[in-house]
Amino acid sequence: MSNDVNTQIKERVVDVVKDEWVLFERKDLLDDCLEFVTEEALTTETTINDMFIYKSMIRFLSKQAIDSISNKDINDMAEQMGAA
Protein backbone atom coordinates (compact mmCIF):
# COMPACT_ATOMS: atom_id res chain seq x y z
CA MET A 1 0.00 0.00 0.00
CA SER A 2 2.67 2.51 0.99
CA ASN A 3 4.58 1.85 -2.23
CA ASP A 4 1.43 2.55 -4.27
CA VAL A 5 0.87 5.82 -2.40
CA ASN A 6 4.49 6.87 -2.94
CA THR A 7 4.16 6.10 -6.65
CA GLN A 8 0.99 8.21 -6.85
CA ILE A 9 2.69 11.08 -5.03
CA LYS A 10 5.71 10.94 -7.35
CA GLU A 11 3.48 10.91 -10.41
CA ARG A 12 1.44 13.87 -9.13
CA VAL A 13 4.60 15.86 -8.36
CA VAL A 14 5.89 15.28 -11.89
CA ASP A 15 2.56 16.27 -13.44
CA VAL A 16 2.14 19.48 -11.41
CA VAL A 17 5.75 20.65 -11.59
CA LYS A 18 6.02 20.04 -15.34
CA ASP A 19 2.68 21.80 -15.95
CA GLU A 20 3.86 24.89 -14.07
CA TRP A 21 7.50 24.95 -15.20
CA VAL A 22 8.31 27.94 -17.44
CA LEU A 23 12.11 27.82 -17.50
CA PHE A 24 12.09 25.56 -20.54
CA GLU A 25 15.77 26.11 -21.32
CA ARG A 26 16.70 24.93 -17.80
CA LYS A 27 15.89 21.22 -17.80
CA ASP A 28 18.69 20.78 -15.26
CA LEU A 29 16.79 22.98 -12.80
CA LEU A 30 13.55 21.17 -13.61
CA ASP A 31 15.20 17.88 -12.68
CA ASP A 32 16.54 19.39 -9.45
CA CYS A 33 13.13 20.87 -8.65
CA LEU A 34 11.42 17.54 -9.23
CA GLU A 35 13.90 15.87 -6.90
CA PHE A 36 13.45 18.57 -4.22
CA VAL A 37 9.65 18.57 -4.33
CA THR A 38 9.43 14.78 -4.42
CA GLU A 39 11.70 14.50 -1.39
CA GLU A 40 9.60 17.04 0.50
CA ALA A 41 6.39 15.27 -0.46
CA LEU A 42 7.64 11.83 0.56
CA THR A 43 9.00 12.98 3.92
CA THR A 44 6.11 15.06 5.20
CA GLU A 45 3.16 14.06 7.33
CA THR A 46 0.96 16.64 5.57
CA THR A 47 -1.56 15.89 2.85
CA ILE A 48 0.07 16.20 -0.56
CA ASN A 49 -2.07 18.35 -2.82
CA ASP A 50 -1.33 20.83 -5.60
CA MET A 51 -0.90 23.70 -3.12
CA PHE A 52 1.76 21.73 -1.23
CA ILE A 53 3.58 21.10 -4.51
CA TYR A 54 3.37 24.78 -5.54
CA LYS A 55 4.76 25.87 -2.19
CA SER A 56 7.59 23.35 -2.49
CA MET A 57 8.38 24.71 -5.95
CA ILE A 58 8.51 28.23 -4.51
CA ARG A 59 10.87 27.06 -1.72
CA PHE A 60 13.11 25.41 -4.30
CA LEU A 61 13.21 28.44 -6.61
CA SER A 62 13.73 30.79 -3.65
CA LYS A 63 16.80 28.79 -2.64
CA GLN A 64 18.09 29.00 -6.21
CA ALA A 65 17.60 32.77 -6.29
CA ILE A 66 19.40 33.54 -3.02
CA ASP A 67 22.57 34.63 -4.82
CA SER A 68 20.85 36.45 -7.68
CA ILE A 69 21.81 40.02 -8.48
CA SER A 70 19.04 42.57 -8.15
CA ASN A 71 18.68 45.86 -10.04
CA LYS A 72 19.67 47.62 -6.82
CA ASP A 73 22.87 45.53 -6.66
CA ILE A 74 23.70 46.52 -10.24
CA ASN A 75 23.01 50.19 -9.58
CA ASP A 76 25.13 50.10 -6.42
CA MET A 77 28.00 48.48 -8.34
CA ALA A 78 27.69 51.09 -11.08
CA GLU A 79 27.84 53.88 -8.51
CA GLN A 80 30.91 52.33 -6.90
CA MET A 81 32.61 51.99 -10.28
CA GLY A 82 31.83 55.62 -11.07
CA ALA A 83 33.15 56.76 -7.70
CA ALA A 84 36.44 54.87 -8.07
> Block means of pLDDT (10 residues each) for the chain, length 84 residues?
87 98 95 98 95 98 90 90 72
> What gap in Å lies between CA 7 and CA 19, rounded to an integer?
18
> What gap in Å lies between CA 67 and CA 46, rounded to an integer?
30
> What gap in Å lies between CA 51 and CA 45, rounded to an integer?
15
Structurally, the chain folds into a number of domains equal to 1
> What gap in Å lies between CA 12 and CA 61, rounded to an integer?
19
| pLDDT recorded at residue 84 | 53
The DSSP letter of residue 66 is: T
